[in-house]
Structures are given as structure tokens and as C-alpha cells.
A = this chain, B = another copy of it.
Amino acid sequence: MVTRLDLFIDRMVSQRACIDFAIAETDAMDGPVFELGLGNGRTFHHMRERITGRDVYVFDRSVEAHPDSIPADHLTVLGDVQETLPQALDRFGATASLIHADLGGHNLEKNDAFARLISPLVEPLLAPGGIMVSSDRMYFDALDEMPLPAGAVKGRCFVYRR
């Protein structure tokens, strides 16, 4: 039987593999990076360390992260993503080079419903060539699902490219 510890390790390892892959693939782009869901701030900390020359904006309802992983004020977008993503489209247009989303909780059905809800809000933000990494399957019209990079575990993360 797969334990919660096993699943959690697979998810963390997959996030890192997909994020590192997406950073490398979008290295030549200079549009902003969006982190949807700050949480404890571990993946944000990872992206902020690994990404150079691009702003990493964080979207969350509130900032409750570890002290080492607090985004700068001007890179923090507070509010429900159902409202802040459409606002981001007005502000940034289709410029994002990389979007990472880890917005889910323990309820898989709820996560899936929410992924359906926000997919059309995320899709128009990506620049051509931009990559979206998600812990939940997304429902995009025109983005292609990419094969997972080495080290990622099937079903634990999803990668899409515009």
C-alpha cells in the first residue's frame, strides 16, 4: 500500500523535476513567472533561487509562509485567484514565461473542480512558448500537454506548453 508519506514524497519530487525542467526550457524568455499558491513557500523559494532575470510573482489569499520564503511586496498579489488572475491578464497580457500552480488541498474532487474553474483564467496569461506546471490536471483549450521530465512521477504533476 502506498502511504501518505510515499505520495507526498512523489509530489514534492515531481514538482521539483517539473519546475527545474520548465525553468530550463523557458530560460531564454524574459516574461514574468507566476507562482499560484504560496503556502509554506518551499516551491517559491526554489523558483526564486533557481530563476535569474525574471520576476517571480506570488498569488495567494494571504502570506503565511516560512520567514525565508516571503515574496517582496511588489511581487505579491493578494486575493482569490478567481479575481486576481483576470486582473493579471489586464495588467500583464499574454507574457508569462512560466506558471506554477499548487492550489489543491486534500479533497481530490474539489481540486479537480477548481482546476476546471481556473484553467480558462490561466491559459491566456502564458506567452507563446511559455510553460505551465500544475499539481492538478488542467483543462486547457489550446495548450499541449508535455511528456514529464525524468524524475517526475506520472499523475503527481502535469506540464503544459503554449
Contacting pair A46 B6 (CB below 8 A):
yes
Copies in the complex: 2
Q: A66-B106, A106-B66 are in contact. Are A41 and B9 (CB under 8 A)?
A: no
* A contacts with B, residue count (CB < 8 A): 23
- Check if A4 is an interface residue, CB within 8 A of chain B: yes
Query: A68: which B residues are within 8 A, CB to CB?
Result: 4
A8 to B13: give the CA distance in the assembly, Å.
10
A13 to B3: give the CA distance in the assembly, Å.
13
Restricting to A63-121, which residues have a CB under 8 Å from any CB of B?
66-69, 106
Task: Name the contact of A5 in the complex, choosing from B1, B4, B9, B42 (C-beta under 8 A).
Answer: B42
Q: Which residues does A use to contact B, with CB under 8 Å? A: 1, 3-6, 8-9, 12-13, 15-16, 41-43, 45-46, 49-50, 66-69, 106
